[in-house]
Amino acid sequence: MTTLLIRNARLVNEGQIRAGDLLIRDGRIDKIGSSICGAADEEIDADGDWLLPGMIDDQVHFREPGLTHKGSIASESAAAVAGGITSFMDMPNTRPPTLSLAALQEKKAIAAGSAHANYAFHFGAANDNLAAVAALDPCAVAGIKVFMGASTGNLLVDDPAVLERLFACAPTLLIAHCEDTPSITVNEEKWRKTHGDAVPLSAHPLIRDAEACYRSSSLAVALARQHRTRLHVLHLSTARELALFEDRPLAEKHITAEVCVHHLLFDDADYARLGSHLKCNPAVKTRADRDALRQALAGNRLDVIGTDHAPHTLAEKAAGYFQAPAGLPLAQDALPALMELVHDGCIDLPTLVAKTSHRVADLFRIAERGYLREGYWADLVLLGPRPPAAAPAPILSRCGWSPFAGRRWRSEVRSTIVSGQLAWHRGQLHAACRGQALAFLR
């Protein structure tokens, strides 16, 4: 039996912030109180720092197997715990893609041996694997990912008959990347005519434009309404799409939405500075889109915040507009970056915690995580003010770069605790920490 006592914290949970202590015993939250008496095997004096349930990131690309020159489950989950993420759900566009039970099992085995955070995997839908999708055990996967727009990897589902059947047969959450590929192709050709291969990166949000997003996400929503599918639309990037989603509590709806860190923190003025380092799908759009997404965080149209952590090497990113792959490494900056929205008064801290932890656990029906509750697994983050003179932490993501280089966050992750184990503490990775498989109550 091991115990870890966190004293003098400000606990952020379920809409409230309260001073108190939290005792962990054998991986779980044993006790929460204003002052817990007695000794523990180990103690952390939080000295007034915030203690929150760790972020549950519903969208990451950790690249293993097959693309480990970009990242691995070990390297990217190390970056994740440094950024306050205690659980992750990994995407199927690996090599091989996660389109079969065998591929799913391989990923789970890798994660069991090497993930520093708790883990689950999304199963991929393709034009030719509907039988495997329909036969899935809903508790064996986080969700079923459908690329309704082509992105990194070749998982586009573009056959309307397959889409209809998929929405009708999905045995658990269908999670969708929505961008309309035909209209993107038309835009690409327009730009190619005038610029050849030398299309500027600033054209990315005009090629993968708001119309392409709206067409595809409105189709997804229409199909989900028709078939009563449990649909979760990923990474909304435009103001216009917000109207497709209901501003109602999660329990009252079957269509939900995610927004990502980069669509909240960047806008199209940043292409001039970052070039291909900001290229991602869907594209980062205008300041007005960014501001509308920020404003929507106060309500229920945007249910959760993810990172869409998607590392590519600097060499890959150095190619021209058409060749540079889309995606940014974001996990290590996750909570400090999102805390900027709190410091700027866009949202309050309990709302941020709701979108990064509580609602994610509710939405995916994750057992015993996502809240500070006695008996739940101890997935925790201590967050405090970042000392202005603190040196930047080394980048743990294998790709070795960050789109946030040079940004000085006002908060830092002091400690991350995964299933009761210290995973990140005082700027150091505790490499022995191993995450657990997420359990789903479905």
Using CB under 6 A, list all residues that contact ligand DOR. 61, 93, 151-152, 177, 280-281, 310, 325-327
To ligand DOR, the closest distance from the beta carbon of 331 in angstroms equals: 13
Residue 151 or 300: which CB sits closer to ligand DOR?
Answer: 151
To ligand DOR, the closest distance from the beta carbon of 61 in angstroms equals: 4
Residue 152 or 295: which CB sits closer to ligand DOR?
Answer: 152
Residue 98 or 416: which CB sits closer to ligand DOR?
Answer: 98
To ligand DOR, the closest distance from the beta carbon of 91 in angstroms equals: 6
How far apart CA 135 and CA 89 sit, in angstroms, is 20
C-alpha 50, offset from chain centre: 21
How far apart CA 96 and CA 98 sit, in angstroms, is 6
Where does residue 16 rank: exposed (0-12), middle (13-18), buried (19+ CB within 10 A)?
Answer: exposed
To ligand DOR, the closest distance from the beta carbon of 328 in angstroms equals: 7
Cα atoms in the Cβ-side hemisphere of radius 13 Å centred on 415: 23
* Residue closest to ligand DOR, measured at CB: 327
Residue 151 or 421: which CB sits closer to ligand DOR?
Answer: 151
To ligand DOR, the closest distance from the beta carbon of 72 in angstroms equals: 14
Residue 61 or 285: which CB sits closer to ligand DOR?
Answer: 61
Residue 316 or 368: which CB sits closer to ligand DOR?
Answer: 316
Which residue is it, tokens 């009563």? 228
Q: In what order do the strands lie in the sheet with 123-124?
A: 123-124, 144-147, 174-177, 231-233, 255-260, 304-306
To ligand DOR, the closest distance from the beta carbon of 233 in angstroms equals: 13
Question: 299 to each of 257, 348, 400, how far by Cα in Å?
Answer: 12, 12, 36
To ligand DOR, the closest distance from the beta carbon of 43 in angstroms equals: 41
Residue 152 or 187: which CB sits closer to ligand DOR?
Answer: 152
Residue 271 or 377: which CB sits closer to ligand DOR?
Answer: 271
To ligand DOR, the closest distance from the beta carbon of 142 in angstroms equals: 16
Residue 326 or 338: which CB sits closer to ligand DOR?
Answer: 326
To ligand DOR, the closest distance from the beta carbon of 240 in angstroms equals: 19
Residue 5 or 331: which CB sits closer to ligand DOR?
Answer: 331
Residue 124 or 420: which CB sits closer to ligand DOR?
Answer: 124
To ligand DOR, the closest distance from the beta carbon of 373 in angstroms equals: 34
To ligand DOR, the closest distance from the beta carbon of 259 in angstroms equals: 14
